[in-house]
Amino acid sequence: MIHVRLSPALNFQFGAFTVLVLLVLIHSCRGQTHVIGPTRPIVATVGKDVVLQSFLDPVMDAFGMTVEWTRPDLNPSFVYVWRDGVELESKKHPLYEGRTSVFTEELKRGNISLKLSRVRISDEGRYRCFIPALDKDHVVQLVVGAASSPVVQKTKDSSGVVLHCDSTGWYPEPEVFWLDGEGNLLSAGPTETVRGRDDLYTVSSRVTVEKRHSNSFTCRVQQNSTNQTRETLIHVPDDFFEVQSSSSSTTAGLAVSLAVCILVILILGFYVWRLKKTKTKKSHRDETDEEETNQESEVLLTEFQEEKQRREEEVQRKNQELQDETDQMKGNKDETIRKDKVKALKDKFEPKNKELQEENKRRQEEVQRKNQELKNKTDEMKNKDETIRKERRDEDKAQIEVMMLKDHLESKNKEVGGLNAEVNKLTEEKKRSEEERQNLQTKITELFPVVQCESTEAELMKPEQNSLGRKSSRRRRRKERELKKK
């Protein structure tokens, strides 16, 4: 039996082929083509465009496939249908006419994402991407939202300064919060909500505030499900609160004047009552007492007139003091105090303005830096996508080379099998030659004496052995050369 020994190069190729075959088998056992996409809901803004992402994994050419985007809650349920390289407009639901499309150039790279233009509130729901040829699908949840910045106004009443916050064009229904300058929540009344014909919400809220350290207040409107937040900051000047205080003092002065008037009326009523009582007693008195009663009435009337005049003078004096106080508040405050407060406010807010300017500058630089980082990340993602595409192309080439190596190895195995058959044939021929030699030696021994037999046998077997040895060695060398070449 001849043992065949392969060369080191052939051994290495066979080992590499085995590893590649195992990798292909593992990859094929791991799964077939799938439709993949985002697992979390996609949030879109009313009036904007949105892309519902979906891809084939591993990458396949979907240009010639049928791609169906549907919404199960609609009838008909088709949102977009791509078949045989064209879009089927007739199958699309009327709500999506002219608003849905796919990236035709990306279909060859397995990108089957759906672009939805001019998003509406009615577009919210579950979207299913289905590939009939692969019997694979993927579901994407779309959440639609709308937001707008609130408008804040300030007014004043008897209770203090009232802030009004209104915001129109929200979906879903948002919440309203009031914050002071330190970020603390303020206690406000219930939020008023109105839903319009376009299904958008309008919210309004009001809160009464008092004078604080910063006098800055924020109205924040937010919607948690869509992660939308809008807020507006308002600053109430100090003199706005003081004007309210002066009006309160004027109101108090008017109340004092009213109380004095009421007191005078009561005193007048009391003297009139006494006068009437005196007149009723006059009829019962004697004529002798008439003169005394008249004198008493005259005294009382004189006292009443004096008291009335004194009260009127006191009321006039109070009113004049209130008027002077009001004029002084209006005049002095409008001229001297207001100028001082304006100057104080300027001095107070000038550092804050500088801080705000520096903060705005810093934020602009931060935004530029973020934009640059986003651009770098986008370029990096593009490079990674290109690298992935290149690796997939290399993987496809490797798979083709594996198949070629497999075919080549099969042909080599067939050739090795043929060589083994020839080697077995040569071994059988050698066995037959050995048997013939033994038979010939037996016949010579029977015909001749031992000595002569030995010499004769040696002479007779020598050329035969030489010829068989030469033949077998020539065949062996030829087979080894053929194996080395292969």
pLDDT in tens, the chain (486 residues): 334 444 444 443 444 444 444 444 444 444 578 899 998 999 999 999 999 999 998 888 889 899 999 999 998 899 999 998 899 888 899 999 999 999 999 999 999 999 999 999 999 999 999 999 989 999 999 999 889 899 999 888 777 788 999 999 899 899 999 998 888 888 888 889 999 888 899 999 998 888 776 788 999 999 888 888 999 998 888 777 664 444 445 555 566 667 667 777 777 777 677 676 666 655 555 555 556 555 666 666 676 677 767 777 777 777 777 667 666 665 555 566 566 666 666 676 677 677 777 877 888 888 888 888 888 888 888 888 788 888 888 887 888 888 888 888 888 888 888 888 888 888 888 888 888 888 888 888 877 654 444 445 555 555 555 565 666 677 777 877 777 676
| 112-to-62, 77, 107, 382 alpha-carbon distances in Å | 7, 18, 6, 18
Residues 273/331, Cβ–Cβ less than 8 Å: no
In sequence order, the 6+-apart residues with CB closer than 8 A to the CB of 329 are 246, 249
State the pLDDT at residue 334: 56
**CA–CA dist 162, 186 (Å, integer):** 13
Residues 143/40, Cβ–Cβ less than 8 Å: no
Provide the b/e sequence for 178-192 (b: ≥16 CB within 10 Å): bbbeeeeeeebeebe
| 422-to-5, 248, 428 alpha-carbon distances in Å | 15, 124, 10
State the pLDDT at residue 99: 94
State the pLDDT at residue 51: 95
Could you check whether the bond before residue 41 is cis, i.e. omega within 30 degrees of 0? no
Cα 247 versus chain centre, distance: 51
State the pLDDT at residue 235: 87
State the pLDDT at residue 152: 92
State the pLDDT at residue 318: 72
> What separation, in Å, do the N-terminal and C-terminal C-alpha atoms of the chain show?
21
Threshold 0.75, pTM exceeds: no
In sequence order, the 6+-apart residues with CB closer than 8 A to the CB of 57 are 33, 34, 35, 36, 110
64: left (phi over 0), alpha (psi -120 to 50) or beta: alpha
